[in-house]
Amino acid sequence: MSRTPWHQRAANVSFDGRALIQGRRVEAADGETFEKHSPIDGRRLGAVARGRQADVEVAVAAARQAFEEGRWSRQPPAARKRVLQRFAEKILASKDELALLETLDMGKPIRYSTSVDVPAAARCIAWYAEAIDKVYDEIAPTGPQALALITREPMGVIGAIVPWNYPMIMAAWKLGPALATGNSVVLKPSEKSPYTALRLAELALEAGLPPGVFNVVPGYGHEAGEALALHPGVDAIGFTGSTRVGRRMLEYAGRSNLKRVYNELGGKSAFIVFDDFQDLDRAAKTAAASMFFNQGESCNAPSRLLVQDTIADEFVARVQALAPTFQPGDPLDETTEMGALVDEGQLRTVLGFIASGQEEGARLVTGGRQVRADTGGHYVEPTLFDGVRNDMRIAREEIFGPVLSVIRFRDEAQAVALANDSTYGLQASVWSHHIDRAHRVARALRAGTVHVNQYDEDDITVPFGGYKQSGNGRDKSLHAFDKYTELKTTWLRIDT
Ligand code: NAD
């Protein structure tokens, strides 16, 4: 393996896996830890506190106490803004360290953890900081003898449970609106990617966030995650993860205190290319780049490529020609486009789906194999299937790996029907120069975000979330404030 400056830095980076509760780094209450290895090459990164019920109890109590005392919740918005702005600045100032932790922890290329993950997390925190002293409450149009105020109040303690595919960004999408509105937070990062969440909490403290306001309890989902989601002292859960676990979040709420549950779940997004779209090169590049970005481990990856049959052969050939440019490489090499899958389990899952595609009769056009096994890491080639039917497993289930399925369609009605024939509804994309068709199809698609003639645009200014079993609630934009605030009506009588 050729050495890069990032390898030298990686040798010196320190991994502190202790929880962060009440402003202090602490071991798990029973002293237990779990081992964390890097998906890049299997190297041991360190021991991480194995948070459980007892740790969640302490963290929720710390968060509740901070909230009730008002050390953050009753700060004026402008004061919260200043602290969160400093937090965002500290994230940016720690860019290399955070990016390295993220890459070593979950396997994405360093070029993207430096250019996408760290800046996006910082921008998210800064954006909510900027927003919080610019949102106003309402006064209802009542008669002269009354005044009815409609105000938003922080909810209290927010439990944030997040996945490993964009650990920092997913945490920031919860932290930004939850903290800006004055809540306290207990964050449970994925057991597969705990390190950046813990470091973020240290940076928040350095920025002036009072102790107890932002706590991190690492651990397994069925232990720390379940304890948090069942806790009667938690007012809302902001969850991002699989639909399977999202379902459990609703059960936990039903079994405990009916806490609000905001689920951001999986996807099987359709990317529809009509034969009137002229720049097939651009469409093919966008499909491949969006699919293989982050090793295909993106909830909004356009994993179902619906192509009109008149151009399908030509289009598949273009995507096939692009696939080798996403060949997995060393994530610490700045030229690498695609890195390692998060762990052995994910590798097995992806290879299992590839085998099932072949067994069900799809045509493997390119890829399909594990590579770089000698590194000790988990890498799979960019994989393209043609001749996929929408009832095959590779078209119905979220693979969360670099596997793109081409489904051919005859006409617009069939394209819409196929796209909507999914339990998911996160994103979709329509490619057409026909303005009526573009609008018609965009309206007909049952998805939280529809792209027209592109797939890359994304910004903190717009909501992100799904229809159907892709979730409820929306991360990002001012709409996210609705999730972490209660709406209060206050009636006042005015004697005239
Ligand atoms: P996951 O559901 O396995 O785990 C997510 C989090 O939940 C982790 O922190 C995990 O420890 C915890 N968890 C697991 N079981 C739990 C339980 N029984 N009780 C409480 N917590 C539990 O998902 P993952 O594999 O980490 O992430 C991949 C999934 O996330 C994909 O389905 C992807 O589509 C989805 N995702 C969605 C979005 C979105 O915004 N819609 C964004 C990113 C990822």
Give the CATH number of the domain where residue 375 resides. 3.40.309.10
Distance CA 286, CA 246 (A): 30
Domain of 430, in residue numbers:
270-452
Residue 480 sits in the same domain as residue 430: no
| pTM (two decimals) | 0.98
Residue 226 sits in the same domain as residue 328: no
261 C-alpha to ligand 1 centroid (Å) = 14
Domain-located, residue 459: no
Q: What are phi and psi of 278, to 5 degrees?
A: -85, -35
Q: Whose CA is nearest to atom 22 of ligand 1?
A: 221
The residue to which tokens 């938003």 are assigned: 152
Which of 117, 186, 240, 469 should be mutated for ligand 1, with most atoms under 8 A from CB? 240
3 C-alpha to ligand 1 centroid (Å) = 34
Residue 155 sits in the same domain as residue 299: no
Residue 52 sits in the same domain as residue 172: yes
Domain-located, residue 236: yes
267 C-alpha to ligand 1 centroid (Å) = 12
Nearest atom (ligand 1) to Cα of 220:
11
Residue 286 sits in the same domain as residue 240: no
Domain-located, residue 188: yes
- Residue 223 is classified by DSSP as I
Domain-located, residue 380: yes
| Candidate list 102, 264, 381, 412, residue with the active-site label | 264
Residue 152 sits in the same domain as residue 73: yes
Structure tokens belonging to residue 34: 């779990």
Q: Is 165 in the pocket of ligand 1 (CB under 6 A)?
A: yes
Domain-located, residue 30: yes
Residue 189 sits in the same domain as residue 167: yes
Which of 161, 223, 400 should be mutated for ligand 1, with most atoms under 8 A from CB? 161
User: Residue-wise pLDDT tens for the chain (496 aa)?
Assistant: 578 899 999 999 999 999 999 999 999 999 999 999 999 999 999 999 999 999 999 999 999 999 999 999 999 999 999 999 999 999 999 999 999 999 999 999 999 999 999 999 999 999 999 999 999 999 999 999 999 999 999 999 999 999 999 999 999 999 999 999 999 999 999 999 999 999 999 999 999 999 999 999 999 999 999 999 999 999 999 999 999 999 999 999 999 999 999 999 999 999 999 999 999 999 999 999 999 999 999 999 999 999 999 999 999 999 999 999 999 999 999 999 999 999 999 999 999 999 999 999 999 999 999 999 999 999 999 999 999 999 999 999 999 999 999 999 999 999 999 999 999 999 999 999 999 999 999 999 999 999 999 998 999 999 999 999 999 989 999 999 999 999 999 999 999 8
Q: Is 264 in the pocket of ligand 1 (CB under 6 A)?
A: yes
Residue 290 sits in the same domain as residue 152: no
Structure tokens belonging to residue 451: 């792209």
| Candidate list 299, 381, 398, 412, residue with the active-site label | 299
Domain-located, residue 40: yes
The beta strand positions in 351-433, using DSSP E, are 363-366, 370-371, 379-380, 383-386, 403-409, 424-425, 427-431
pLDDT score at 1: 57
Q: Whose CA is nearest to atom 18 of ligand 1?
A: 222
Residue 414 sits in the same domain as residue 483: no
Residue 426 sits in the same domain as residue 326: yes
User: Which amino acid, residue 27?
Assistant: E
243 C-alpha to ligand 1 centroid (Å) = 8
Which of 220, 242, 303 should be mutated for ligand 1, with most atoms under 8 A from CB? 242
Residue 336 sits in the same domain as residue 367: yes
What pairs with residue 405 in β-bridges? 304, 385
Which CATH number does the domain housing residue 56 bear? 3.40.605.10
Domain-located, residue 462: no
Domain-located, residue 461: no
pLDDT score at 496: 86
- What is the Cα 339 distance to its own chain's centre? 18
Q: Whose CA is nearest to atom 42 of ligand 1?
A: 299
Q: Is 473 in the pocket of ligand 1 (CB under 6 A)?
A: no
Nearest atom (ligand 1) to Cα of 267:
34
Distance CA 396, CA 389 (A): 9
Q: What is the CA radius of gyration of the chain?
A: 23
Q: Coil, strand, or helix at residue 40?
A: coil
What's the helix, strand, coil split of the chain in %, to 5? Answer: 40, 20, 35
Residue 264 catalytic? Answer: yes
What pairs with residue 380 in β-bridges? 370
Q: Is 425 in the pocket of ligand 1 (CB under 6 A)?
A: no
- Residue 210 is classified by DSSP as P
- The number of domains in the chain is 2
Residue 181 sits in the same domain as residue 57: yes
pLDDT score at 456: 86
